[in-house]
Structure 1
Amino acid sequence: MTMESYKTLEIVRKNSDSSVFHLIINRPSHLNALSLDFFIEFPKALSSLDQNQDVSVIILSGAGKHFCSGIDLTSLSSISTQSSSGNDRGRSSEQLRRKIKSMQAAITAIEQCRKPVIAAIHGACIGGGVDLVTACDIRYCSEDAFFSIKEVDLAIVADLGTLQRLPSIVGYANAMELALTARRFSGGEAKELGLVSRVFGSKSDLDNGVITIAEGIGGKSPLAVTGTKAVLLRSREVSVEQGLDYVATWNSAMLISNDLNEAVSAQLAKRKPRFAKL
């Protein structure tokens, strides 16, 4: 079942009984390079999924042979040309800054989405593709996947989130080495670094495995799942004491719920819990 129509994306619900929805980067003829249209459509698509009560988990993947080959070079050239076309350097720079901030916000929309977003990565995950997956909540890849933080080879500083998010995932030293060398690294190395949680033997195994994992998460309390995501994201920015205070405040508002009663009843009755939609 296909949902709304986009130029660069496709939203698919493969099973009408499932709360797992697929958000697919859909420019296979361009190796799923991220165009300017993508940065407009992507946050809109995420928002629509976030507000859809039928959605509990989102799987982000790429159509065709690759996950994402990075920023579309035509779009990059267009941004550069537009920003340098004026006579006023100050105004041109301010315009470029607004464009960068807008593109950053499109990636950050993954974190702002209440529902967990799982990246299923196959083939190339380069440049902007790494920006995308580092913002995701969980990452898996197939054995054929390869990665590169490619921006320095294009004479630019990666500015859509990789340099901010990757160090907390793989460690500062590893992030520095990968970003400065722009070298290609495999799915196996990505697993060793902690960038992905698991490497599947093939694209088919990846698809099936990630759906199984997503369905498992989708069967849990939506209040607990969205709360866990929110608290973990918050914990990156605060001390342990502040994080504990934040989760205490969160749970004081959310803990006493029908979901808690249902979870306890299901445990006692040795049955699967049935939670209301969020």
Structure 2
Amino acid sequence: MSDTPFHVTVADGLALVTIVGSGKGNALGGSFWDELRDFMEQAHHRDHIRAIALTGEGRTFSVGMDLRWYVVRLRRAQRARDRSFMDADVRLLQQAVTAVADCPKPVVALIDGECTGAALELVSACDIRYATRQARFALPEAELGVVADLGGLQRLPLLVNQGHLRELAFTGRTIDAERANRIGLVNDVFADPAALHHAARQLTDDLRRHPAHVMEGIKRTLDTVHQDGVRQGLDHSARWNSTHTGPDGLGQAMSARLRSPAVPADSGRPAPEGARAMSPQG
């Protein structure tokens, strides 16, 4: 487990946030959520930052929620017989993703390799998504018996049509970068990480030609139309999982997933299978 959930470097107006997370595959747990929220809120007041890019360390964006970390939290809630824990905890995680969406600076996700579950919900809160040809996307929360509740079901409909989103959410299937591009999940696909980062720098150069308050005004204006619906959806998903699954059910499902040798310990994603993985034509 890393002591630092992400690293930040700033050059020529671009703040590059490289996710390390709390476990293998840049799994999202530990202090990641609080520190991401704090960074996004602080970035508002840093005039030298004109854009923010989120990426993952190595050849993976993120395998999603760190199940080992979250199971420990659930077990504590079970011992304390705290039935409100799941609802309250999910809302704290939601705040971190919402801080990405609410940041007045343009935020771009640079996605290489796996982007699963909570990680896909995180990039759905970004303004722009660039991917390499090796990128893979999945929303497998149904495999754990829960509804995706960090904002993916509220923000992804602004990117892809309902049919594509429902297929992703209902089945948990993995799609490749080509299909993600075709359905509008990502803005563009690049050959490799070097090209991905070059595109982010070019984007920042374009943004720097315009006043920062204009960029903020565009973002606020675009977001205002959808904010009430997103907030209502986040509240509904948090209450639904707390009521219908609860800490006991989710803890059992996560523990079973961690015991499965076919699934990475830090990921909620089912292992790729020929019958489950979606072909480029899927």
Given the two structures, how large is their TM-score scaled by the length of structure 2? 0.77
How many Å separate the matches in 2 of 1:59 and 1:180? 30
Partner in structure 2 of residue 7 of structure 1:
4
Which stretch shifts more, 147-156 or 224-233?
147-156
Give CA-to-partner distance per residue, 1:150-177, whole Å, 9 cap, x none: 2112222211111111122101221111
Partner in structure 2 of residue 168 of structure 1:
158
Partner in structure 2 of residue 186 of structure 1:
176
Which of 213, 218, 227 lines up with 2:208 in the alignment?
Answer: 218
- The change in CA–CA distance for 1:39 and 1:238 in structure 2 (over 3 A counts) is closer
Partner in structure 2 of residue 272 of structure 1:
none
Kept after mapping to 1: 8 A contact 2:21/2:32: no
How many Å separate the matches in 2 of 1:188 and 1:72? 27
What secondary structure, in the 3-state scheme, does the structure 1 residue paired with 2:83 have? helix
Kept after mapping to 1: 8 A contact 2:59/2:112: yes
Partner in structure 2 of residue 265 of structure 1:
none
Kept after mapping to 2: 8 A contact 1:28/1:64: no
1:44 paired with 2:41, answer: no
**Which structure has the larger Rg?**
1
Partner in structure 1 of residue 148 of structure 2:
158
Which of 15, 23, 28 lines up with 2:17 in the alignment?
Answer: 23
How many Å separate the matches in 2 of 1:29 and 1:41? 16
State the 1:73 CA deviation. 0.9
Kept after mapping to 1: 8 A contact 2:132/2:192: yes
Partner in structure 2 of residue 105 of structure 1:
95
How many Å separate the matches in 1 of 2:68 and 2:23? 14
1:58 paired with 2:64, answer: no
Letter in 1 for 2:145: A
Partner in structure 1 of residue 251 of structure 2:
none
Kept after mapping to 2: 8 A contact 1:150/1:179: yes
Partner in structure 2 of residue 149 of structure 1:
139
State the 1:79 CA deviation. 2.6
Identity, in percent, stands at: 29
Higher relative contact order (CA 8 A, sep 6+): 2
Structure 2's unaligned 5+ residue stretches are 230-282
1:75 paired with 2:69, answer: yes
What secondary structure, in the 3-state scheme, does the structure 2 residue paired with 1:214 have? helix
1:133 paired with 2:127, answer: no
Given the two structures, how large is their TM-score scaled by the length of structure 1? 0.78
- RMSD over aligned Cα atoms: 1.9
State the 1:80 CA deviation. 2.0
- The change in CA–CA distance for 1:192 and 1:80 in structure 2 (over 3 A counts) is same
How many Å separate the matches in 2 of 1:129 and 1:226? 24
Letter in 2 for 1:199: V
Structure 1 runs of 4+ with >6 Å offset: none
State the 1:96 CA deviation. 1.9
Question: Which one has the bigger helix percentage?
Answer: 1
1:234 paired with 2:231, answer: no
Structure 1's unaligned 5+ residue stretches are 1-5, 240-278
- The change in CA–CA distance for 1:29 and 1:111 in structure 2 (over 3 A counts) is closer
